[in-house]
Copies of this chain bind each other. A is one copy, B any other.
Amino acid sequence: MDKKYLLAPGPTPIPPEVLLSMAEPIIHHRAPVFSTLFDEVKKGLKYVFQTKNGVLIFASSGTGGMEGAIVNTLSKGDKAIVVRGGKFGERWGQLCQAYGVEPVFIDVEWGRSVNPETIFDILKKDPGIKAVCIQASETSTGVSHDVKRIGEYVKKLDNTITIVDAITALGVYDIKTDEWGLDVVVAGSQKAFMLPPGLAFVSMSEKAWKFAEKSNLPKFYFDFKKEKKNQEKNQTAYTPAVSLIVGLSKVLNSIQKEGIEKVFQRHHKLAEATRTAMKALGLELLAKDFPSDACTAILAPAGIDGQQVVKILREKHGMTIAGGQDHLKGKIFRIAHLGYFDKFDIIIAVAGVEIVLKELGAKIELGKGVRVAEEILGG
- Give me the interface of A with B, judged by CB distance under 8 Å: 4, 6, 8, 10-11, 13-14, 19-20, 22-31, 59-64, 67, 94-95, 98-100, 188, 190, 196-198, 217-223, 237-244, 314, 320, 322
Contact = CB atoms under 8 A, between A and B. Distances in A.
B220 A95 contact: yes
A-B complex: 10 closest residue pairs judged by Cβ atoms:
A198-B241, A196-B243, A23-B23, A63-B238, A19-B23, A61-B239, A98-B220, A197-B239, A61-B238, A28-B320
9 contacts: A8-B28, A11-B242, A22-B22, A22-B196, A59-B198, A62-B239, A64-B221, A64-B238, A197-B240
A31 B314 contact: yes
A198 B238 contact: no
Nearest to A9: B28
Contacts of A197: 29, 59, 239-242
Q: Which of A4, A20, A217, A238 has the most CB of B within 10 A?
A: A238
A2 to B, nearest CB: 11
A196 B242 contact: yes
A233 to B, nearest CB: 15
A342 to B, nearest CB: 16
B4 A14 contact: no
Q: How many copies of this chain sit in the oligomeric assembly?
A: 2
A241 B239 contact: no
Contacts of A322: 30
A338 to B, nearest CB: 14
A190 B8 CA distance: 29
A101 B266 CA distance: 51
Contacts of A196: 22, 26, 241-244
Nearest to A28: B320
Nearest to A18: B23
A239 B190 contact: yes
Contacts of A62: 238-239
A188 B239 contact: yes
A23 B244 CA distance: 11
Contacts of A60: 59-60, 64, 221
Contact of A218 (B27, B218, B242, B320): B218
Given A29-B197, A100-B218, A241 B20 contact: no
Given A13-B25, A14-B25, A59-B197, 13 more contacts: A6-B26, A8-B30, A11-B26, A19-B25, A59-B61, A60-B221, A61-B240, A63-B238, A98-B219, A98-B223, A196-B243, A196-B244, A197-B242
